[in-house]
Homo-oligomer: A and B are copies of this chain.
Amino acid sequence: MTTPTSTQTETQTPDDFLRLDQQICFSLNAASRAFGSVYRVALKDLGLTYPQYLVMLLLWEHGELPVKKLGEHLRLDSGTLSPLLKRLEATGLVRRERSARDERSVVVGLTDEGGALRERALAVPRRIAAATSFDLDEIRDLRARLDKLTAALDSAELETD
């Protein structure tokens, strides 16, 4: 067993801190991956992965966006987006062209096929919502907490400490 000998003094590091701290990030991770499995099934007949689906959501909403903007919305850099977009282009859902105004920028838009896929994607959210068995208020509340947590982590990262 090797039961930790909880020192329990006023200062830091009581022995089982090494379990407590694991909790929140691990739970987060586990939930995220569990969602992944559910989305994987729901998105299978659309031929999309979850990150690809997120890109398509943005394009369905905004019509077209430069890679930079996609990255800002999704918190992803070009190292992740470039190959992902290349795959979406290869499957014919997306079109990429360099902006005329700024030759550095690449604008991503929908092909007809990509636009048409939206119809079939409308069934996805309901399937996901059913799988969570959370009501909308619960979801909203949880989301708010998570966003607050993310913001805290982001700003903590900036500090040199």
Per assembly, the copies of the chain total 2
Which of the residues B17, B18, B152 comes within 8 Å of A131, measured between beta carbons? B152
Please tell me if A90 contacts chain B, counting CB pairs below 8 Å.
no
Q: Which residues of B contact A129 (CB under 8 A)?
A: 21
* Contact between chains at A122 and B31 (CB < 8 Å): no
* Contact between chains at B157 and A131 (CB < 8 Å): yes
* Contact between chains at A31 and B61 (CB < 8 Å): no
A positions within 8 Å CB-CB of B: 1-2, 4, 12-13, 17-35, 37-39, 41, 50, 54, 57, 60-63, 75, 118, 121-126, 128-134, 138-139, 142-143, 145-147, 149-150, 152-154, 156-157
Closest Cβ of chain B to A35, distance in Å, is 4
Q: A27-B147, A30-B75 are in contact. Are A126 and B17 (CB under 8 A)?
A: yes
* Contact between chains at B75 and A21 (CB < 8 Å): no
14 further A-B contacts with Cβ under 8 Å, apart from A34-B157, A142-B145, are A22-B57, A24-B132, A25-B128, A27-B142, A28-B35, A29-B35, A30-B150, A31-B150, A32-B32, A34-B154, A38-B153, A131-B156, A132-B153, A142-B142
